[in-house]
Amino acid sequence: MDDSYFRDRISGYFDKNLPPDEYQLVDDYLRNSEEGRQLLEELGRLDEFVQREQELTGAEDFWEQQAQKIEAKLGFASTEPDNVERLPRRSSRGMVWKLTAAAASIAVLIFIGVHQSDIFGPEDIPRDADRPLGAQSEAMPPRQNELERATEGAATGAIDTARAKTAPDEIIEKELPADDRDELLETRIPDVDETSPTGRQLDLPPDADEEPAPEEPIRMAEPAKPVPPPSRQAAPGAAARTEEIPLGDTAVEKHEEFEQMRRDVLPSQMEAAGDQTELAHYRAERSRLMALLNGGGDSIGLVGETTPAMKSLTAERRAEPIATVADVRGELLEACYRIASLTPDSTERAAMVTQIRGMATDSTSSVQKLARGYLDKLK
C-alpha cells in the first residue's frame, strides 16, 4: 500500500471513523511517517479553527428582527402584523383635531352669517336670524335636507332598497353635489405613507374614484393564517382613508356630516352590503384556491417544496412567504365555511357543507380537525 492509501484514510482516522483493522493500519503508518503525522496535526488545527470561526455574531437587533419576522409570518400576537389598525386612529389625533374642527365650524358659521341672504333667501333672514343654529334645519340647503330625510328614513325603517346594497363611498357620490363630492373624495384619501412602520406595503384598496367600495380585503402579512375577511362594518381601507383628513378646510365639516350619516343611517345598509362583499370575496377566493390545489401539490409533504403555481402566486406579494399546500387547504376550508355561513342560497350552502365534510373525513388532510369543527358550527 502506498502513502496515498493512508493519507486518504487519515481524515477517517481523525474522526475515529475507521473499522478497527484499518484504524490499526493507519496507526502503524503514522508512527513511521512524518508527513502523515503533520497532516493529522493540520486536521486537528483545522477542526479547532472551524469550531472557533463558525459562530456568526452580528448585532443583537439583527437576531431579534429575524425572530420577529418569523413570528410575523406565523401571525403571532407578539409581533403586530402590518395592517391598517396601525395607522393613526381618530382618537389619537387629540387636540389638533379638536381645535381644527372647532375652527372649521366657526368658519362655516361666519360664512353662513355673511351669505345668509344668498343661502336662505331674503324673507328667511329675519325669522332664522333669531333662532339657534340647530333649529335652522328647515331652511338648510337641499343637500342638508336630504341627509335629514335619510336619517328619518332610517329611524322609521323606510330605507331606500335601491341603496341598501350600496357601499358607503357610492352613497357619498349620490348624496353630495359633484364639486363637493370630488373635494371630499380627494380629501378623504389621506396623504399617508402606505408603507407600514416595518416597511411593508399595506395593500390598500384602489382609489375611491375608481371603485365604489374596497372589494379586496386588507391582506395581512402572514399567510399562515387564513386570509382575513373584509369587515362588515366598514372596509378597513375605507376606514383608514376616512380616519385621515386634511386639517383646516371645509372637508372637515363634510367629513363630520358623512360620519354622522354613517352613524345614523348606514349601519343596516352597510351590514347588507358587507355580507354581499364578503360573500363575493369568499366565492372568488374559493375558486382561486380550488384552481391552485387542482394545479398539483397534493404530494407535498413536510420536507417538500411548493408547486410552481403557488410560487408564482406568492411571488407577486413578496412580503408574504410562499404558500404551502396546508396553507391553501386551510384558506380553502375557511372560504367554504364563510360561504356556507353567508350565502342565502341553500344549494350553495349544501355544496359547501359537502366540501367541508370531504375535508373532515380525509385523514390525510392537514385541516381535518379544523374541518370537523366547522361542520359542528354549521350544524
**Which residues are near other proteins by CB under 8 A?**
8-12, 15, 17, 42-43, 45-47, 49-51, 53-59, 62-64, 66-67, 69-71, 73-78, 224-226, 302-305, 321-322, 324, 326, 330, 366, 370
Nearer to other proteins, 42 or 209 (CB): 42
- E strands present in 215-313: none
Distance of CA 269 to the CA centre of its chain: 24
Query: Rounded CA gap, 144 and 355, in Å?
Result: 51
Cell 469550531 locates to: 51
Minimal distance, residue 51 CB to other proteins, in Å: 8
What residues are paired with 195 via a beta bridge?
Answer: 201
Nearer to other proteins, 168 or 223 (CB): 223
Minimal distance, residue 268 CB to other proteins, in Å: 30
CB atoms within 10 A of CB 112: 16
Return the axis-axis angle of helices 368-378 and 325-342, rounded to nearest 10°.
0
Query: Rounded CA gap, 227 and 320, in Å?
Result: 12
Minimal distance, residue 299 CB to other proteins, in Å: 14
For residue 133, give Cα distances in angstroms to 103, 128, 140, 248, 264. Answer: 16, 8, 10, 21, 20
Minimal distance, residue 351 CB to other proteins, in Å: 23
Distance of CA 234 to the CA centre of its chain: 14
Nearer to other proteins, 226 or 237 (CB): 226
Nearer to other proteins, 153 or 373 (CB): 373
Nearer to other proteins, 70 or 133 (CB): 70
Cell 351669505 locates to: 115
Minimal distance, residue 321 CB to other proteins, in Å: 6
For residue 239, give Cα distances in angstroms to 100, 197, 262. Answer: 20, 18, 12
Q: How many CA atoms lie within 13 A of 253 on its CB side?
A: 14
Q: Which three cell numbers stand for residue 342?
A: 353567508
Nearer to other proteins, 63 or 111 (CB): 63
Nearer to other proteins, 56 or 162 (CB): 56
Task: Determine the 3-state secondary structure of 140 from DSSP.
Answer: coil
Minimal distance, residue 327 CB to other proteins, in Å: 9
Q: Which three cell numbers stand for residue 311?
A: 410560487
